[in-house]
Amino acid sequence: MTQVPCYTIINSPDLEVPNEMQLKQDLEKGDTNVKIDTLKKVIKLLLNGERYPGLIMTIIRFVLPVQNHTIKKLLLIFWEIVPKTSSDGKLLQEMILVCDAYRKDLQHPNEFLRGSTLRFLCKLKEPELLEPLMPAIRACLDHRHSYVRRNAVLAIFTIYKNFDWLVPDGPELIANFLDTQQDMSCKRNAFLMLLHADQERALNYLASCIDQVHTFGDILQLVIVELIYKVCHANPAERSRFIRCIYNLLNSSSNAVRYEAAGTLITLSLAPTAIKAAASCYIELIVKESDNNVKLIVLDRLIAMKENENMEKVMQELVMDVLRVLAAPDIEVRRKTLALAMDLVYSRNIGEMVLVLKKEVAKTHNVEHEDTGKYRQLLVRTLHTCSIKFPDVAGTVIPVLVEFLSDTNELAAADVLIFIREAIQKFPALRALIIEHLIEAFPQIKSSKIHRAAVWILGEYVEGGQILEVIAAIQQTLGEIPMVDAEQRRLAGEQTDEEKQQQQQQSSNATNNAEATPTSNASNKVTSDGTYATQSAFSLAPVAKKEKRPPLLQYLMDGDFFIGAALSATLTKLALRYAEIHPDGQSQNRLTTQVMLIMSSILHLGKSGFPTKPITNDDTDRIFICLRTLSERTPEAVAVFISYCREALGKMLDAQHDEDQRVLKEKQRAAAKVQPDDPVLFAQLSNGRDNQLGENVFESSLNQALAGSKTAQLSDIASPNNKLNKVTQLTGFSDPVYAEAYVNVNQYDIVLDVLIVNQTNDTLQNCTLELATLGDLKLVERPHPVVLAPHDFCNIKANVKVSSTENGIIFGNIVYDTALTTNVVVLNTIHIDIMDYIIPASCTDTEFRQMWQDFEWENKVTVNTSFTDLHEYLKHLLKSTNMKCLTPEKALSGQCGFMAANMYAKSIFGENALANLSIEKPVDDPDSKVTGHIRIRAKSQGMALSLGDKISSSQKQTVQAV
């Protein structure tokens, strides 16, 4: 059974259903304002499923003759939605009177009335109503006003499309009309009709004016682009005839036309000139368009072009043009631009790209914006990738990046150190340069974490004469040794050695500038009337000024002794390495005692009570190990400090590289996947279309529309098996009305296709599907009532809007009338699965920790499962939650009795979900079950609870299955 066509949807809150007699009285005897209000009320009631067949004649008699424009507009909506046929499918007799009224409106002197009536006729599906109006519609083609003419063309187009026998000469009529028109909107509508109704005539018209296409309005140019695309895909031999026209449209004044022309050009031709022209057009659009959404959409088109191997080589030459997009202030646009540029850059233009990125780094120094820190971090990561991918530029990048170490943004500085750590390990030739810049920047670093990492790098890679430089830099940032004595003097108000030196420098500077400056004695204060004013002096207590200490000492005074332990390990490495280079025992002992004094001073300070927190036992043990290693020099301990640390870093970097290569191979393998039943293409037997033309726009646009669903493959979406998996039975087989629903989850809405079967021998009147929702779901419109004959069936569709990632429930009932009573059948509930909205995603460890710290909602789920293998349980968890494991495989490999892993996923609404798995089982008992817990964190409560429920339900299913 087909549904009643309806084009106009008016949202209305819950209405009180009024008496039909009252409505009739208001329409009959009320003034114009009352009639307007009543008509609005009737329209809303009709849209909510009410039926008032008795009102039609009242409206024809008392409302239709009124010449008020508002009433005329409302009547157009009313006649659009009111049922125009009786129960047996025949047209109502009253509609003849309505038809006559609209024939008069089509001849009305007011052009607005004529035009709006013509627009209304586009929506009519009853040929009996349209046939008497055809002469009046044709006459409107010659009206003086363009508004009437363009709507007359649309009316003829829709009538010809639905009932071509009513206007058999439609294409010829419109083709003649097109030749005589000057108004762009009229030409556009006429050309649109020819495009769909008679392409040959449309092509003849385009061929006659192809040189003037660039002078047409944008609305007509868009239709011309559509025609050229359709014709060239249907008949590739026509490409040479029209491709120059597409090239010309790339220079159109309208951005929409340029975007469509560029998209059409790359589907018609894969020639390098065409690809370059289209890509340049896209880049120009991004740079000139101010709307960020448009920038992101066009950037996605460029990224899609880059995925095509034939286009990627051509686009590599446009890297510098792509980098112009960095002028946009939006961080998401910049992130995508840098990723695209990084994928396209190659050895010839890497130098130019690095220069541009250096300029961008310089621009961020004095700009305070909420996204400046994130942008600096992006630039650092991009330069990092450039240097690892192209080692030749690393030497020019390092000095720029080292400046970030003194930055207040700790994230950017941490990324710089990660880069320096990788570069210093992979490029031995650059070590001296890196160490030199790192020593220069060391005193300016402002963060404990950054200092700690910098100290480790210096201790691991410094060689030769630079060892003494590093120790001197460390002593400078630590201050006077022993530290406890210096603190006692500072507390007693005495000057430390450092303060004395600073004071001497200041006094010497002051004597150079100290010319005799006149000193003024205090004078009496005299008021304006000549009397003396008395002054009162208040003595204020001195404000305790915060002592300014060297940075490393300040960290220790704040209770951060982890930096002290790291410093001790670094000093130990430096002393051992110095001993290898200098065989002179005296210089060795001098350096070793100097280093041991610093370590013992840190220990003494930690126990002294001066810092805000005392030193921890762990840090104390680590410093004692360093002292013992220096004093005893056992070969095993020396080997750990000298070589094992560097080897461990090398292994970690190799593991990261292997993981990146594995991910890259998986992507390439997925792209090259061919199904066994795919047809084999023979070049000799093909008609020449397959290789000449690019992607199918229809296919790609359909894929984009289905992008929110779990699988975006057209074959999977359309397959019957996929649909059967999502069918939910709503009533029992023995119920008088059987119902089942196919639940189709799209990105932001759910479509319920409900099959209703009448299993009785009675006719069911007003059979209505009533639905309600729980959670962040909202029913868009109420389904219309239907009439079901005995053993008949029908399909009813209902749309549900989704606004966040939460488990939702749809419930309701079916109400129907028989000859005697009204009956209700309660429906089974439909559970909307959160997994339809969650997709696996990846992030760095730093980002994961930051989000874990920021997100306030946590849900802890206890593991209760029949699994006896830790790895199998992790696989099951990842499969049931759609999450991605961030912990590398090598870190999880092996059997040790416990496992800890981080997992991450993202919803299509942009919400993040984090999970930490901590599980264990006894190694000596292979039959014991996995125990532990999973902690889930999310920004919203619903996300955390829904994921927890999903994990719990999947665990129950496995236990029940066993």
- Residues 363-411 have pLDDT tens digits of 877 666 667 778 888 888 888 888 888 888 877 888 777 777 776 667 7
CB of 793 closer than 8 Å to CB of 767 = no
- Dihedral in degrees, nearest 10, Cα atoms 34, 40, 41, 47: 160
- pLDDT higher than threshold 80 for residue 711: no
Residues 879-895: what's their mean pLDDT?
81
Mean pLDDT, all residues of the chain: 79
Confidence at 486, pLDDT banded by 50, 70, 90: confident
pLDDT of residue 408: 67
- pLDDT higher than threshold 70 for residue 714: no
Nearest CA-CA partner of 53 in 22, 25, 85, 77: 85
- pLDDT higher than threshold 70 for residue 614: yes
Identify the residue whose tokens are 């961020």. 364
| Both tokens assigned to 855 | 């997100």
- CATH of the domain spanning 725-832: 2.60.40.1480
The DSSP 8-state label assigned to residue 406 in this structure reads G
Region of poorest pLDDT, from 75-84, 318-327, 798-807: 798-807
pLDDT of residue 723: 62
pLDDT of residue 546: 54
Residues 278-297: what's their mean pLDDT?
87
Task: Give 251-257 contacts, CB < 8 A, sequence gap 24+.
Answer: 251/214, 252/214, 252/218, 252/221, 253/218, 254/218, 254/221, 254/222, 255/285, 255/288, 255/289, 255/294, 256/218, 256/222, 257/218, 257/221, 257/222, 257/225
Residues in Cβ contact with 328 at an 8 Å cutoff, skipping those fewer than 6 apart: 286, 292, 295, 334, 337
- pLDDT higher than threshold 60 for residue 481: yes
Identify the residue whose tokens are 């060892």. 467
Query: 836-956 domain in CATH 1.25.40.10?
Result: no
- pLDDT higher than threshold 80 for residue 48: no
Identify the residue whose tokens are 């991910």. 663
Strand positions, DSSP E, 517-582: none
C-alpha radius of gyration, the chain, whole number: 39
Residues 577-592: what's their mean pLDDT?
80
Residues 72-98: what's their mean pLDDT?
81
3-class SS of residue 744: strand
Nearest CA-CA partner of 136 in 124, 125, 147, 121: 121
- pLDDT higher than threshold 80 for residue 833: no
Pairwise CA distance, residues 175 & 179, whole Å: 7
Pairwise CA distance, residues 789 & 758, whole Å: 7
CB of 63 closer than 8 Å to CB of 27 = yes
pLDDT of residue 935: 92
3-class SS of residue 703: helix
Q: What is the pLDDT of residues 652-701, one digit of tens each?
A: 888 777 777 777 776 665 444 556 766 765 645 544 444 444 445 545 55
- pLDDT higher than threshold 60 for residue 893: yes
Q: How many CA atoms lie within 13 A of 57 on its CB side?
A: 5
Residues 731-738: what's their mean pLDDT?
90
Using CA of residue 35, residue 41, residue 44, residue 47, what is the dihedral sign? negative
Residues 586-599: what's their mean pLDDT?
84
User: The whole model's pTM is what?
Assistant: 0.67
Question: Which residues, in sequence order, are bridge partners of residue 741?
Answer: 728, 754
pLDDT of residue 15: 59
Classify residue 751 by burial, with Cβ atoms within 10 Å: 0-12, 13-18, 19+: middle
Pairwise CA distance, residues 262 & 260, whole Å: 5
pLDDT of residue 703: 52
Confidence at 717, pLDDT banded by 50, 70, 90: very low
Confidence at 63, pLDDT banded by 50, 70, 90: confident
Concatenate the DSSP letters of all residues of 430-444 into one string.
GHHHHHHHHHHHGGG
Region of poorest pLDDT, from 44-53, 486-495, 914-923, 933-942: 486-495
Cα–Cα separations (whole angstroms), residue 876 to 346, 529, 696: 41, 93, 38
Residue of higher predicted confidence among 19 and 201: 201
Q: What is the pLDDT of residues 195-249, one digit of tens each?
A: 888 888 888 888 888 777 777 877 888 888 888 888 877 777 777 777 888 888 8
Parse the chain into domains and list their residue ranges.
447-491+549-648, 725-832, 836-956
Strand positions, DSSP E, 648-746: 727-729, 737-745
Q: What is the pLDDT of residues 141-197, one digit of tens each?
A: 888 888 899 899 999 988 988 888 888 888 888 888 888 888 888 888 888 888 888
Q: What number of other Cβ atoms are within 10 A of residue 413's Cβ? A: 29
pLDDT of residue 317: 86
Nearest CA-CA partner of 730 in 820, 806, 776, 798: 798
Amino acid of residue 877: L
